[in-house]
A and B are shown apart, each in its own frame.
Chain A
Amino acid sequence: MHPENQKHDFEPKIIAFVCTWCTYAGADLAGTSRMQYPANVRVLKFPCTGRIDPVFILKAFQQGADGVLVSGCHPGDCHYIAGNYHARRRFAAFRKLLEFIGVDLGRLAFSWVSAAEGGKWVEVVTDLTEKVRAMGPMVEFKALALEEQWSGAIDTPELQEAYDAI
């Protein structure tokens, strides 16, 4: 049986941020070559990995993503000369921050997938999906997002104080 047809208890939500020139084209190639991979991934296209703001990754986790993938051109092959180098530096630092606030780095993957590497795209997506599936749902950020929302309840002394002062 094809792995895709197996029933799982948990279907993780994976969001992929990819550059248009290498990884998006690589994912297209996986399609034209009719390769198969788990349907959990949702792809967002950027001109370059250099455009990807770490905020997007946080936002994705907040919106309920269980795993995030960032993928672009191989070092040296950037369509925009050096965008992927800037991205690499930025995410090297960002990973440390994420680790510091307690996000399991297994949920976040960075990879280089060129326009000719349809097979690698399939591999990367499948690996991350299965890894995150084994880790279970990402609950920490969802809880945070819920907390941020105004529920209407006045459940802390600070709030009560502020309410009374009106």
Chain B
Amino acid sequence: MKKWPQCVLLFWLALAVVAPWLGFQPDAIDLAHILDAPSLTFLLGADDLGRDIFARLIAGAGVSLTVAGVVTLVTFTIGTTLGLVAGYHGGWVDRVLMHITDVFLAFPGILLAIAFAAVLGAGVDNLILALCLTSWVGYARLTRAQALSLRGRQHVQAAQALGASTPRILLRHMLPLLAPALLVEATFSIASLVVAEAGLSFLGLGIQPPHASWGAMLRDGARYLLVAPHYVLAVGLSLMSLVLAVNVLGDTLRDNLDVKR
């Protein structure tokens, strides 16, 4: 039972990966079956256009996890690089980089993403871009703070004395010590990115129809809460399970990697 977060995450990942071979048609509209209750044909019922909610949930999981994964990868790389350089180099490089970070930090992330989505236009690629632009600052700040303290460590000074190049020092002597904290940050950000994607799609600025997205499904489902509660419940519970699993996973990871213990 202790491994349930991994199981939930694996469940959604596996479904999202094998979805193309399951033969579902998440976009097949059937006006005769609008908001049908769960049955053998529609495992979790049908949505407001008579589409299979289960098939759409799986398709939506793929979108949500892809967006979260890509954005985390990109922001992790950018944020960590900038933070390392700023922290290790210090001086004017540090000041310039951190002021830029502060500017981005000063905006509420989701608001900036909405603004970007409005300017760039809606769509998956723009959604990823908008989320990337706003969520790298956390990594940069964290890495920089850690790098500042690591810079004075003896093994780093030894490497410097031996004439190691800067990239080598950053990658071989500092990054491994930063990894635990960054990994924890990454898991938490995956969870918040899934919610952010859902939020932007909820506002109609994310994934465009007919493609499924959990946020858009939640928005549509909420309209029919009174007549078809199965719709919004199915989507809401799925979203909750995934976000909860990732969060608990991050918590466990932090406990296990905590050096103080």
User: Do A and B truly interact?
Assistant: no
Binding site for B on A (CB under 8 A): none
